[in-house]
A = this chain, B = another copy of it.
Amino acid sequence: MTKLNARFDLNHCDEIGKVCTVFNLRKASRAVTQLYEEIMRPSGTLPTQFTLLAATRAMGPVTISRMAKELVLDRTTLTRNLKPLEREGLLIVVCVKDDQRSREVSLTSKGIRKLEESIPYWIDAQNKTRQALGSERLDRMIADLKRTAGATSDLV
């Protein structure tokens, strides 16, 4: 009688790649990120930076910590990811009056313009992805991804 997990031993490492959640997630992330980067390249905005601009716009003036938690992003990672956008003058991070510890992120008018100009390229990437995957699969997967982000980040 073989053990249930016998297929995960050294002689069946190909099975690991086939069923590993984190591997398949990261692999798909790379593929989709590469596609979005290619399509959005003419806009001069990286997809990761685009989502930061959109998140800042959506959340209004927001502290680093709150934004990081919302994005399931380490706080220090967010600090660093904001740097290139600050340097380009697309957003500003300023101290909060009521709490000298906190700093709030906001878009500048230049950042708003940049975001607006990038949206058509992002829509193009969205449409090409939908075309490639089919609406049904894509909508289902995004719903599953949301659930995954919520359920697993609760465990950490």
List chain A positions with a Cβ less than 8 A from chain B: 5, 8-10, 13-14, 16-17, 19-36, 38, 47-48, 51, 54-55, 57-58, 71-73, 112, 115-116, 119, 122-123, 125-126, 128-129, 132-133, 137-138, 140-142, 144-156
A148 CB to nearest chain B CB (Å): 5
Q: Is the interface of A mostly helix, strand, loop or mixed?
A: helix
> Which residues does chain B contribute within 8 Å of A148, judged by CB atoms?
28, 31-32, 133, 141
> Which residues does chain B contribute within 8 Å of A31, judged by CB atoms?
72, 148-150, 152-153, 156
Contact A13 B144 (CB under 8 A): no
* Interchain residue pairs with CB less than 8 A apart (22): A10-B119, A13-B55, A13-B115, A16-B119, A20-B51, A20-B54, A20-B126, A21-B36, A22-B32, A24-B142, A26-B29, A28-B146, A29-B29, A31-B72, A31-B150, A31-B152, A34-B153, A34-B156, A128-B155, A129-B152, A137-B144, A141-B141
